[in-house]
Structure 1
Amino acid sequence: MVVTERSGATHAGDGTAARADGARPLRRRRPLPGGRAVVGGFLVMAAAVGIFAAYTGATTRKGVSYVVARHALSVGQRISRADLTTAPMVLSPTIGSELAFRDPARLVGALVVGPVQAGELIQASSVVAGADAAGDRQLSFPIAAGRAVGGTLKGGDLVDVLATYGSGADATTVAVVRRARVVARSDTSATLDPAGTAGETITLGLASSVDSLAVAHAVDAGQVMLVRSTGASSSTDSGTYRSPSAAPGG
């Protein structure tokens, strides 16, 4: 007896016979994620985004726009809107609220009393804004530090210019100018005061030509003393002083 076997019988499980017969093999479709899986994935992604946002928020701070110089500003220059721009930066609360400016309009017309470089933050100590910016005429003169508040004057200070004429009992001291604005101060060692001793150079902003003439005369003809009057009340003296011994009947 001859026994024959169909090849398809021995490979029934591998789909060979089915392919030979023209039938398509049956394959199971992969199921789509269920609703819970989708929601879970979304929550994981949202948590990751939240963690990243919290991290970046803790490591970076948003800058606030402050006024900076569009180009270099020189001492004595009047600021125009074209001189200003803004830039975002992070400042301490004290500097941001008291020493810097956020509105360029506040600085238009201000007087520069300290050099400012291009892109530099404009600070209150570098400018004189508002009504205090008056003083288009500028005059510089050398003076000993001991006659200029110990060399501690700085740009923006107000000073009374006193001058003493004569000597001894006949000397007279007068107030030449009240509340003149210090525009700049230089303490280079090469500076000599009128007496020939090392000192500093003070630049004043003066409101009138009469004031500039009076200060120039005082520097050349008398002994000048500067009195810081920043924040001081108005003067009540007559503006002239002579030694009591020089007064009639003294």
Structure 2
Amino acid sequence: MEISVWKTRALLIFLLSLCVAVALSLFPQTPQLQQIDASVLPAVPVSYEETVVPASEVIQRQEQQQKVDNSPKESQIANAATAISYKPRYQIAWAHPLNYGDRFATDIYGKPVYNKPIIVLHETVYSAASAINTFRTPHQQDDKQVSYHTLIGLDGTVIYIVPPEKRAFGAANSVFIGSNGAETVKTHPSLASSVNNFAYHVSLETPADGRDRDRRHSGYTQAQYKSLAWLIAQSKVPDARITTHKAVDRSGSRSDPRSFDRHKFLSLLHAYRGISRKS
């Protein structure tokens, strides 16, 4: 009789555990907020309050940007001696709060996440002003919300859009394949998992001849490469965790940043980082 009772209890405990597991899978939890170590990511300048600009000013700059030479020559690449004097112009154009969110310490199933930051490089396809207008427009639908942390104009201006400690919506349905294997985090019950929870998104403004779906264009300006290297040199993200939208995308529809010269970029980045270590 006692054996039968214990068997019944064991069966009930098993069934209860099974029900809990099924409930957790069917009814995702609210992810816990993560206090990401923003010191490993590029920081917004301390004096940013004085540089906030309206979208209209960014739009007015477009005609001037179109005149910038976007055919940089190899001889123009800054070395450690000249890079130290470079400091780009910067602006602030905050995205609407609906277009970015918090970073989480757990996924929607309550599982802790420990991903180290990555940097994802993009291009705008259209003008910087067009991108900023999109980011500043409140999109009510979750799948329409989009943003980058930072955008670099054709003239090299660094435009800060989303604070680094926040989660920009830059790469839906994405995964980063690195030394730790596949890394992706699901933070929304109705959207695919992505790298957004641990990514810092940087976009380069596309030159005028690239505002289509062709596979290549004339490339980015020397000012853009210098500003990009300057920006990322402020981070502690290693080369191996600097990737592209094309590389992390799982839909097969992304190819940005097209015509990107990674060798040129890394040469500049290493020059800046060499200076930072010595200073």
- TM-score of the two chains, using structure 1 as the length reference: 0.22
Q: Work out which structure has the larger RCO, using CA pairs closer than 8 Å and 6 or more positions apart in sequence.
A: 2
Name the one with the larger strand percent.
1
Larger radius of gyration: 1
- TM-score of the two chains, using structure 2 as the length reference: 0.21
